[in-house]
Amino acid sequence: MCTVYIFLQAFAIPGPAVLAVLMAALFGGWYGAVMSMTCSVVGSSICYILFKLVGGPILDRFFSSGVAKLRQQIQSNKDNMFFFFLFLRITPILPNWFINISSGNLGISFPVFFFGTMIGLIPNAVILARAGVEIATIGQENGGLKFDLYRALGLLAIGLLALLPIALKRKYKSKLI
């Protein structure tokens, strides 16, 4: 299962989220979450390296406008790249596959990508693991999947929290000048 997950993630093929839910349903919440996070970081890192080596022309041909917009955002946040990248990873503003294929060609260093991915995917892994545990318990209890507005807002709040250091730095930087 891990090999398939890493392969899908490495080549930006849809399906890893379903596998993350399945891992939690089969192996339990914590183990499934750790397993899916590990596979996600490894697969994303392979994708980063592959597209950095050979993906530039593909990005320019098929995603030129999206890459140009993201490049602008990256340039305006280059002094706070880790926190900006963490924000991109936590929030669903950009799909993970697009972040994976474009980061290496947009000047995001591998350490920022790797650690930002590792930390930024924790909330997503927990949500998918909870969904997997809920699926595993369907039929055992009354109820079912419970993904509601509060969980979605919680994810957004965590993402905005990642931007707090950027805002504080900008605020105090302007006062120092």
pTM recorded for the entire structure = 0.77
Instruction: Dump pLDDT digits (tens) for 46-55.
Output: 999 999 999 8
Q: Is 98 left (phi over 0), alpha (psi -120 to 50) or beta?
A: alpha
Write the DSSP symbol of residue 141.
B
Helices 81-90, 64-76: crossing angle, 10 deg rounding: 130
Q: Is the pLDDT of residue 142 over 70?
A: no
For the segment 100-117, the average pLDDT, to the nearest whole number, is 94
The residue with greater pLDDT, 177 or 150, is: 150
Q: Which residue's entry shows tokens 């290496």?
A: 104
Q: Which residue's entry shows tokens 């730095």?
A: 169
d(CA 151, CA 148): 6
pLDDT-derived band at 81, boundaries 50, 70, 90: very high
d(CA 143, CA 145): 7
d(CA 86, CA 118): 9
Q: Is the pLDDT of residue 93 over 50?
A: yes
For the segment 31-42, the average pLDDT, to the nearest whole number, is 94
pLDDT value at position 153? 72
Average pLDDT, the chain: 86
Q: Which two tokens stand for residue 68?
A: 């140009």
Q: What is the CA radius of gyration of the chain?
A: 18
